[in-house]
Structure 1
């Protein structure tokens, strides 16, 4: 897939979709963790499942597998748009961009209304710089 370069306007325009996908991913992660713990408890505290009962292990494992597929699909959707999911727990997403001919990353975190920060390729989240009102080339 060819690398996408975002203008600030383009990156902000797809934020509603990215925000929704991050929220869905975080929800799936929470449900996955609950179901995984449930499966672990079932395996630790129950012996054989009595005849006639559904296979609880199979059911829980199937649910976990489905959640993994669903999460991978959402992550792939984010990446196919050209965005980079950096940290799911923080809801951190970067958008490749060019600033004065140099590759940089527009940086957005779940909870922020719009993209207001950027950083160099090697600076990471801690190296974020504020985008000034008229200081970003389009």
Structure 2
């Protein structure tokens, strides 16, 4: 990674402004053109330095305040198929297979977000119906302590 690429990552990792010229301030600070900023970001993606460059919505700011981690007891031989099906559901934002632990039979975890707890419960019920998995729990977030992406 070049020094200019490192600086671009440092200046963008907390987000970029939502304006018609989001790279203007970055280019000014680095004394390069906006086109060069875009070129370097594209190059870093092509080189695998960064996997994606995308937008994330502040869901609480738009009223999505119910967040639920749904944990599922999926037969081991069905984890791959059920996991792929769950991951394909639009309401699911995260889907992971995890090891079982003594006293904790759940091995697939999904995250859903909505405007109310009742909506999240309805989503979980729909996932259950779509997958045929009826051994699950829905756990709601109480407080968010930290939410960030990977930082340089």
TM over 0.5: no
Instruction: Output the TM-score relative to the length of structure 1.
Output: 0.25
